[in-house]
């Protein structure tokens, strides 16, 4: 009995002990993590370069094909219907010659008359496309002058770079000072592009181009070009480096074909040096004019102005992405290269962005026809027009 009672007491003790222990509870659920939405940083404001590019794209997309093509023509100002043609052909700009500084009788225009004429041209362009014209003039100084021949605009002809250097103790400062004064005065008249400086290297008085150059070697010419282009950029006028790929001792292409048989290395070591310097100094405000010389080292068939290979050299080797323009397509050196007369089509196919020509009334319809029949792609026109508009923007012509 006592054993039984002890066993019973032990059983009751175990049972009571078990009942006094807490029952197993399910594991508590963790508090859910409340993730706050990360605060997205505001995107940085667009850079000035991005804003400028966006302006060009918006303007480009607003233009019709006819308006885009018109922007590619920087034409000799006609003797008649100059105002009407701005609207009819949506022209990119006018190049002024001596005739355009005179009235119908040949008398020199007064300053007021000249300024008003250019203002009327710009008003016509703004009423048409809203895009100002390039108004260009050849004011190299010395043998090539336009505006300074008019005594109502300037007291004397502008001096040649060689004469400036000969009369100065420091040629670089003298070139820069003359360029600033000359181009600021042109800009005040309404001329926004001076087709200068001449970047050709020539040290021989026997060369056709010599009198228009600074008469120095490659580095001396590069120093000259840098001084002039920098001064032009600072005063707000467009510069034009000419005549790529370098004129050398070639004959006058106004009257016939010039064939340059120098090696490519000779161009690299000499002729390209001033062009590279001018491109760097211009920083988007300078264009490059391509000559009609045949550069056999690159293309022994076509003049440089019509050669895709020469333009590819300009774009790749000299890293130039600005406006490339033809020399005047009315010159004899290029007249025979387009059997149907559509030389401007060849020039655009080659890679030019601006066409300088007298017969734009014929050439513009031919370019439009070439786009319509697939000879020229719309992308070629758009690329060229984009460069032209970007140049106008860099010159402060676009609001």
pLDDT at 44: 86
| pLDDT above 80: residue 59 | yes
Considering the chain, what is the average pLDDT of its residues? Answer: 90
Q: What is the pTM of this model?
A: 0.88
Q: Which helix (H) or strand (E) holds 162?
A: helix 161-166
Mind listing the pLDDT tens digit for each residue in 244-296?
999 887 656 555 678 899 999 999 999 999 999 999 999 999 999 999 999 99
- Tokens 């029949």 identify what position? 373
Name the percent of the chain lying above pLDDT 90. Answer: 80
pLDDT band per the 50, 70, 90 thresholds, residue 17: very low
CA distance 198 to 221: 9
pLDDT at 2: 37
pLDDT at 360: 95
pLDDT band per the 50, 70, 90 thresholds, residue 25: low
DSSP reduced 3-state for 77: coil
Tokens of 393: 């923007």
Beta-carbon contacts of 194 under 8 Å, excluding residues fewer than 6 positions away, are: 136, 137, 138, 139, 182, 183, 186, 232, 237, 238, 239, 240
φ, ψ for residue 28, nearest 5 deg? -65, 145
Rounded mean pLDDT, 339-346: 87
Rounded mean pLDDT, 122-131: 98
The 3-state DSSP composition of the chain as helix, strand, coil percent (nearest 5) reads: 50, 10, 40
DSSP reduced 3-state for 20: helix
Q: Is pLDDT larger for residue 4 or for residue 223?
A: 223
Tokens of 254: 């106004």
- Integer-rounded Cα radius of gyration of the chain: 35
**Distance from first CA to last CA of the chain, Å, rounded?**
117
Closest CA to 101 of 141, 142, 143, 135: 135
Torsion angle of C-alpha atoms 334, 132, 393, 75, degrees rounded to 10: 10
Name the percent of the chain lying above pLDDT 70. Answer: 89
pLDDT band per the 50, 70, 90 thresholds, residue 131: very high
Q: Is the CB of residue 346 less than 8 Å from the CB of residue 318? A: no
Mind listing the pLDDT tens digit for each residue in 203-219?
999 988 999 999 999 99
| pLDDT above 80: residue 121 | yes
Query: What are the DSSP calls for 346-368, one per residue?
Result: HHHHHT-SBB--S-HHHHHHHHH
Closest CA to 326 of 356, 293, 286: 356
Q: Is the CB of residue 71 less than 8 Å from the CB of residue 95? A: no
Closest CA to 294 of 350, 327, 250: 250
Mind listing the pLDDT tens digit for each residue in 299-341?
999 999 999 999 999 999 999 999 999 988 987 778 778 767 7
φ, ψ for residue 134, nearest 5 deg? -75, 125
pLDDT band per the 50, 70, 90 thresholds, residue 27: low
pLDDT at 340: 78
pLDDT at 253: 55
Q: Is the CB of residue 270 less than 8 Å from the CB of residue 201? A: yes
| pLDDT above 60: residue 96 | yes
């Amino acid at each position: 009995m006592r054993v039984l009672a002890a066993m019973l007491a032990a059983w009751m003790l175990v049972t009571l002990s078990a009942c006094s222990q807490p029952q197993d509870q399910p594991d508590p659920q963790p508090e859910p993590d409340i993730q706050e939405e990360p605060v997205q940083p505001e995107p940085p404001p667009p850079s000035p370069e991005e804003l400028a590019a966006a302006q060009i794209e918006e303007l480009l997309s607003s233009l019709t094909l006819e308006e885009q093509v018109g922007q590619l023509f920087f034409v000799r100002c006609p003797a008649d219907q100059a105002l009407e043609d701005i609207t009819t052909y949506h022209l990119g700009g006018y190049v002024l010659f001596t005739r355009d500084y005179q009235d119908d009788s040949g008398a020199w225009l007064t300053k007021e008359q000249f300024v008003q004429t250019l203002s009327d041209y710009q008003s016509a362009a703004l009423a048409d496309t809203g895009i100002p014209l390039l108004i260009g003039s050849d004011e190299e100084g010395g043998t090539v002058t336009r505006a300074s021949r008019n005594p109502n605009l300037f007291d004397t002809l502008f001096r040649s770079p060689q004469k400036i250097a000969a009369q100065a103790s420091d040629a670089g400062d003298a070139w820069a000072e003359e360029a600033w004064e000359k181009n600021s005065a042109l800009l005040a008249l309404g001329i926004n592009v001076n087709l200068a400086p001449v970047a050709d290297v020539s040290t021989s008085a026997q060369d056709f181009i010599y009198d228009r150059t600074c008469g120095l070697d490659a580095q001396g010419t590069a120093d000259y070009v840098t001084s002039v282009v920098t001064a032009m950029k600072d005063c707000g006028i467009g510069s034009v480096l000419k005549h790529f790929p370098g004129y050398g001792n070639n004959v006058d292409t106004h009257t016939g074909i010039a064939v340059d048989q120098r090696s490519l290395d000779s161009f690299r070591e000499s002729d390209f040096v001033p062009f590279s310097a001018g491109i760097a100094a211009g920083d988007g405000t300078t264009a490059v004019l391509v000559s009609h010389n045949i550069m056999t080292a690159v293309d022994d068939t076509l003049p440089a102005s019509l050669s895709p290979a020469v333009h590819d050299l300009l774009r790749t080797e000299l890293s130039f992405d600005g406006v490339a323009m033809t020399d005047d397509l009315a010159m004899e050196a290029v007249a025979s290269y387009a059997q149907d007369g559509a030389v401007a089509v060849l020039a655009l196919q080659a890679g030019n962005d601006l066409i300088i020509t007298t017969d734009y009334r014929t050439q513009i319809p031919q370019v439009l026809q070439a786009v319509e029949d697939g000879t020229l792609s719309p992308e070629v026109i758009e690329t060229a027009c984009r460069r032209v508009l970007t140049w106008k923007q860099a010159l402060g012509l676009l609001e």
